[in-house]
Structure 1
Amino acid sequence: MKKRTLGQSDLKVSEVGLGCMSLGTEKQRALSILDEALELGINYLDTADLYDFGLNEEIVGEAIKSRRKDVILATKAGNRWEEGKPGWFWDPSKAYIKEAVKRSLKRLQTDYIDLYQLHGGTIEDNIDETIEAFEELKEEGVIRYYGISSIRPNVIKEYVKKSSIITVMMQYSLLDRRPEEWLPILEENGISVIARGPLAKGLLTEKPVSEANANIKSNGYLSYSYEELVKTKADIEKTAPDLTATETAMKYILAQPAVGAVIPGASKLEQLRENVEAASARPLTEQEIKALRFYTKRDVYTAHRE
Structure 2
Amino acid sequence: MNKRRLGTSDLFISEIGLGCMTLGTNEQQATEIIDRALDAGINYIDTADLYQFGLNEEIVGKALKGKRDRVVLGTKVGNHVNREKEEWFWDPSKAHIKAGVKESLRRLQTDYIDLYQLHGGTIDDPIEETIEAFEELVQEGVIRYYGISSIRPNVIREYVNKSNIVSVMMQYSLFDRRPEEEILDLLHQHHISVLARGPLAKGMLSENGLQQAKNKAANGYLSYTYEEIVHMIENLQKHVSTHHSLQAIALQYVLEHPAVASAIFGASSVEQLKSNLALLDAAQISSTMHTQLQQETRPIVYQQHRS
TM-score range, shorter chain: over 0.9
1:281 paired with 2:282, answer: yes
Task: Give the equivalent residue in structure 2 for 1:45.
Answer: 45
TM-score by length of 2: 0.96
Q: Alpha carbons of 1:16 and 1:211: their partners in 2 closer, same or farther (altered >3 Å)?
A: closer
Aligned counterparts of 1:82 and 1:211: Cα–Cα separation in 2: 32
Distance in 1, matches of 2:251 and 2:83, equals 38
- Equivalences for residues 47-196 of structure 1 within 5 A: 47-180=47-180, 181-196=182-197
1:66: Cα distance to partner?
Answer: 0.2
Shift of 1:279: 3.5
Tell me the distance in 2 between the aligned counterparts of 1:60 and 1:215: 27
- The alpha-carbon deviation at position 211 of structure 1 amounts to 5.1
Task: Give the Cα separation in 1 of the matches to 2:185 and 2:106.
Answer: 38
1:193 and 1:40 mapped to 2: Cα distance? 22
**Structure 1 pair 104–158 and aligned structure 2 pair: CA distance change class (3 A):** same
CA contact (8 A) 2:98 2:133 kept: yes
Range 269-278 or range 183-192, more displaced: 269-278
Aligned pair count reads 305
Counterpart of 2:140 in structure 1: which amino acid?
E
Q: Distance in 2 between matches of 1:88 and 1:7?
A: 31
User: What SS does structure 2 have at the residue aligned with 1:190?
Assistant: coil
Secondary structure in 1 matching 2:306: coil
Percent pairwise identity: 59
Question: Does 1:20 find its partner at 2:20?
Answer: yes
| 1:93 alignment partner AA | S
In structure 1, the residue matched to 2:34 is 34
* Structure 1: gaps of 5 or more residues: none
CA deviation map 1:251-298 (0-9, x unaligned): 101111110001100001011011122144222111111111111121
Question: Is 2:168–2:195's contact at 8 Å kept on the other side of the alignment?
Answer: yes
Residue by residue over 1:73-130, the C-alpha shift from the partner in whole angstroms, topping out at 9 and shown as x without a partner, is 0000000022412320000000100000000000000000000000000000010000
Following the alignment from structure 1 to structure 2, what is the Cα–Cα distance between the partners of residues 26 and 91? 30
- How far residue 301 of structure 1 moved from its aligned partner, in angstroms, is 1.1
Q: Which residue of 1 aligns with 2:298?
A: 297
Structure-2 separation of matches of 1:122 and 1:215: 27
What letter is aligned with 1:149? S
Structure 2 residues not aligned, in runs of 5+: none
Equivalent residues of 1:250, 1:279 under 8 A apart: no
CA 1:252–1:214: 2 relative to 1, 3 Å? closer
TM-score (normalised: structure 1):
0.97
Aligned to 1:245: 246
SS in 1 for 2:21: helix
C-alpha separation in 2, matches of 1:93 and 1:87: 18
The RMSD of aligned alpha carbons is: 1.2
SS of equivalent residue, structure 1 residue 243:
coil
1:230 Cα offset (Å): 1.6
Query: Higher mean Cα deviation, 188-197 or 275-284?
Result: 275-284
SS at match of 2:41: coil
1:6 alignment partner in structure 2: 6
What amino acid is the match of 1:249? Answer: A
Please state how far the C-alpha of 1:170 moved relative to its aligned partner. 0.5
Partners of 2:167 and 2:2 lie apart in 1 by 19
